[in-house]
Structure 1
Amino acid sequence: MTELLVRLEEEPTVRAQLRKLAVRIKMERYGKGVFLRGLIEFSSICRQDCMYCGLRASNKQADRYRLRPEEILACCAEGYELGYRTFVLQSGEDYWFTAARLAKLIREIKSRFTDVAVTLSIGERDDETYALLYEAGADRFLLRHETASPRLYAKLHPTMTIESRRSRLLALQRIGFQIGAGCMVGLPGQTNSDLADDLVYLHSLSPDMIGIGPFLPHSNTPLRDASQGSMEKALDMVSLSRLVVPDALIPASTAMGTIHPQGREKALQAGANVVMPNLSPLAVRPKYAIYENKICLGDESAQCRHCLELRIRGAGFEVDMGRGDSLRVQRQLLSQ
Structure 2
Amino acid sequence: MQLHDLENLLLSKGSQQHLLHQKADAIKRQSVGKNIYNRALIEVSNICHKNCYYCGIRKNTDLLRYQLSKELVVDLALNAYENGFRSLVLQSGEIQSSPFTHYIASILKEIAIRTRQNMHVTLSCGEQTRQTLQEWKQSGAHRYLLRIETSNIGLYHKIHPCDQLHAFEQRLETLKHLKELNYQVGSGILIGFPFQTIKDLAKDILFLKSLDLDMIGLGPYIEHPDTPLWNHPSILFSKPERLDLTLNTISLLRILCCDINIASATALEVMAPHGRSAALSAGANVFMTNLTPDMIKSQYDLYPGKNSMALNTPNFFFCINDWGDSLHYLKRNNQI
Letter in 2 for 1:272: A
Residue correspondence of structure 1 range 153-232 to structure 2 within 5 A: 153-158=156-161, 159-225=165-231, 226=233, 227=236, 230-232=242-244
Instruction: Specify which of 265, 274, 282 is matched with residue 253 of structure 1.
Output: 265
Aligned twin of 1:85: 86
Aligned twin of 1:112: 114
Aligned twin of 1:4: 6
Aligned twin of 1:304: none
> 2:284 aligned with 1:272, yes or no?
yes
Using the TM superposition, give the Cα deviation of residue 332 of structure 1 relative to its aligned residue in structure 2, in angstroms. 6.5
Letter in 1 for 2:167: T
Using the TM superposition, give the Cα deviation of residue 10 of structure 1 relative to its aligned residue in structure 2, in angstroms. 5.7
Displacement over 4 Å in runs of 4+: 332-336
**Are the counterparts in 2 of residues 312 and 319 from structure 1 also a CA contact under 8 Å?**
no
Aligned twin of 1:150: 153
Letter in 2 for 1:234: T
Distance 1:7 1:325 in 2: 29
Distance 1:296 1:186 in 2: 22
Q: Report the RMSD for the aligned CA atoms in angstroms.
A: 1.9
1:30-68 superposed Cα distances (whole Å, 9 cap, x missing partner): 2211000000001001000000000000112x1211101
Distance 1:9 1:120 in 2: 33
1:203-234 superposed Cα distances (whole Å, 9 cap, x missing partner): 11121111121100111111224346510011
Give the percent of matched residue pairs that are identical in Structure 1 and Structure 2.
Answer: 36
**Are the counterparts in 1 of residues 214 and 328 from structure 2 also a CA contact under 8 Å?**
yes
Distance 2:6 2:113 in 1: 48
**Are the counterparts in 2 of residues 258 and 295 from structure 1 also a CA contact under 8 Å?**
no
1:176-205 superposed Cα distances (whole Å, 9 cap, x missing partner): 100110001101110111111111111111
Letter in 2 for 1:29: S
Q: 1:332 to 1:168 in 2, by over 3 A?
A: closer
Aligned twin of 2:328: 328
Using the TM superposition, give the Cα deviation of residue 79 of structure 1 relative to its aligned residue in structure 2, in angstroms. 1.0
**Are the counterparts in 2 of residues 202 and 244 from structure 1 also a CA contact under 8 Å?**
no
Distance 2:277 2:205 in 1: 23
Letter in 2 for 1:173: K
Q: 1:52 to 1:274 in 2, by over 3 A?
A: same
Question: What is the total number of aligned residue pairs between the two structures?
Answer: 322
Aligned twin of 1:20: 22
Using the TM superposition, give the Cα deviation of residue 296 of structure 1 relative to its aligned residue in structure 2, in angstroms. 5.2
Instruction: Specify which of 135, 138, 146 is matched with residue 135 of structure 1.
Output: 138
**Are the counterparts in 2 of residues 76 and 87 from structure 1 also a CA contact under 8 Å?**
yes
Distance 1:81 1:58 in 2: 39
Using the TM superposition, give the Cα deviation of residue 327 of structure 1 relative to its aligned residue in structure 2, in angstroms. 0.6
Distance 2:247 2:125 in 1: 26
> 2:241 aligned with 1:239, yes or no?
no
Q: Alignment partner of 2:216: what SS?
A: strand
1:6-46 superposed Cα distances (whole Å, 9 cap, x missing partner): 35526533222211111011001222110000000010010
Give 5+ residue unaligned stretches, structure 2: none
Distance 2:254 2:136 in 1: 29
Q: 1:251 to 1:100 in 2, by over 3 A?
A: same
Instruction: Specify which of 76, 86, 104 is matched with residue 102 of structure 1.
Output: 104
TM-score, normalised by the number of residues in structure 2: 0.91
TM-score, normalised by the number of residues in structure 1: 0.91
Using the TM superposition, give the Cα deviation of residue 127 of structure 1 relative to its aligned residue in structure 2, in angstroms. 0.6
Aligned twin of 2:71: 70
Distance 2:194 2:214 in 1: 28
